[in-house]
Chains A and B, each alone.
Chain A
């Protein structure tokens, strides 16, 4: 609706409601920042912080899969690049942390763009399988590389995050609460960026390219360029997520960024609504409920999630169909076969 809606605000009056709706995903997450006032329990802070990290992964995945329609299983591997960069150089040099983080994020971004370049050659599941291979390659290298601490990984202590001055407020990320606030701030920003991208012309261009690349080209869109932009954004986001992920566990090990984790992100985003502005927030809530709050056996969680995913896809494809119009055909197909059964 983007541009149009803004114009309509001048003309029609009903537009305000629409704008509220569109502002909500950007503004509402601010609620997170008051959590420390609601509860002081470190347990709750770490619960929500852990969930917000998954929101970040989902936000990153949402841009490549939700906005431009390319399922990538490599987001966590991309994040690993940034995280390991910071971990390795942080341990061996005394470079300013801020610089390390920025460069790390840029590295993830570049890697993501390169990975995306493949997508101009390979579509659909070919691309997905390439991302699987990419993730495997990264973890194989990390597991055999002494500098990266092989399978033991490297420490990534929060105590090395300097005190951040936010006006009068001092943010000390060393404490659970401080780290929570840091994560929350980063998430609010990332989420706002992701949402604004979706509303921007570029966002509509991404969806145009996703919906019908041929048509998009015929109208003067450049699919390659637009995909590149999407990959850059999601790569950068993955880098940020990767670094925070590492700080959350105060550790980098290959298993933190392994394929099964990437598959978890895929399941979360499918439940949360692929391509939906709300996807990151909803995914975070699902993770919070299922993986933090719910008192169930460890090996049940994944199974439960899988079950729900299947049910969602089968029973309410619209929940995820948002970004993948073709799934509506699957729905139609299903309806058709039903009517056949009825007639028969």
Chain B
């Protein structure tokens, strides 16, 4: 039981982390909390289901959708989010609107039935008494690699430095000749791409429908607040806390408890350390 719960914990952590990672990048650069992150994620899941059921090989579908969603994200930034940039609340409201639209679109095109995709890999491995599904282990690995790469890219690569520079000091960045506007667009693209990646990954593991978006994005919000807004490391730590808390909660204490754990964790963090575990201090007003 422990190992299964742990696997589940890792899996949840991975999904939350990758969803939150995108949110953080977008927030860092544009000061926008994209509430529609989850909706875009679910949209990618639905696209994936159509492609894969349509006979497109999984990996091609994955790459294709991630690419498309990245472009879509850039489009959104150019057309919509740019206008409310720096206005977190305005951004929230806009993204609420986007959620409504995306959900409606999904219901129109795909209908309300929950959808399932053929497994990525069948089968499971036994470790002692525990039996662990291979595909989840695989996905955990993939996500872990992606996150590590992303983190490295963010801290080491030139682009990463540019991103972080823009996030920290926009004026300074533009003075150094960084094309801030383009950076923002790309950042939003990356964020959406990560959402898409998360979406396709989840789609191939669990049954999904439009509700998945809302619950995931709220969880991701909680994650980035716990971890500290604007900190990718924090996002990953927060995701792990939440993922494991839920997995072990529902394994050992029942579901109701597991539902409350994230909320309690959030309250605790906000009261003890409002700026989150890895967050920079908040300015008090």
Contact = CB atoms under 8 A, between A and B. Distances in A.
The answer on direct contact between A and B (beta carbons under 8 Å) is yes
Contacts, number: 132
Given A122-B270, A125-B89, A259-B214, A306 B98 contact: yes
A263 interface: yes
Contact size range, B: 35 or more
B175 interface: no
Interface string A258-283: 01100100110010000000000000
Most buried by A among B83, B107, B214: B83
Given A126-B270, A326-B87, A306 B99 contact: yes
Contacts of B84: 313, 327, 330
Contact of B86 (A132, A223, A270, A329): A329
B239 to A, nearest CB: 16
A303 B88 contact: no
Interface in B259-278: 259-260, 263, 266-267, 270-271, 274
Given A299-B107, A307-B97, A133 B263 contact: yes
Contact size range, A: 35 or more
Given A126-B282, A329-B86, A305 B100 contact: yes
Given A310-B98, A314-B80, A133 B266 contact: yes
A205 to B, nearest CB: 16
A330 B85 contact: yes
B104 interface: yes
A302 B106 CA distance: 12
Most buried by A among B96, B97, B108, B181: B97
A330 B285 contact: no
Contacts of A317: 83
A214 interface: yes
A137 interface: yes
Most buried by B among A303, A327, A329, A333: A303
B10 to A, nearest CB: 24
A309 B263 contact: no
A82 B103 CA distance: 31
B94 interface: yes
Nearest to B221: A129
Contacts of B92: 71, 125, 128
B101 A307 contact: yes
Nearest to B257: A144
A43 interface: no
B105 interface: yes
A303 B274 contact: no
A263 B274 CA distance: 25
Interface in A91-137: 118, 121-126, 128-130, 132-133, 136-137
Interface of A: 71, 118, 121-126, 128-130, 132-133, 136-137, 140, 144, 213-214, 223, 259-260, 263, 266-267, 270, 299-300, 302-307, 309-310, 313-314, 317, 324, 326-327, 329-330, 333-334, 337
23 contacts: A71-B92, A122-B282, A123-B284, A126-B274, A128-B92, A129-B221, A129-B222, A130-B267, A263-B99, A299-B104, A302-B104, A305-B100, A309-B93, A309-B96, A310-B101, A314-B94, A317-B83, A326-B87, A327-B84, A327-B90, A330-B83, A330-B84, A334-B83
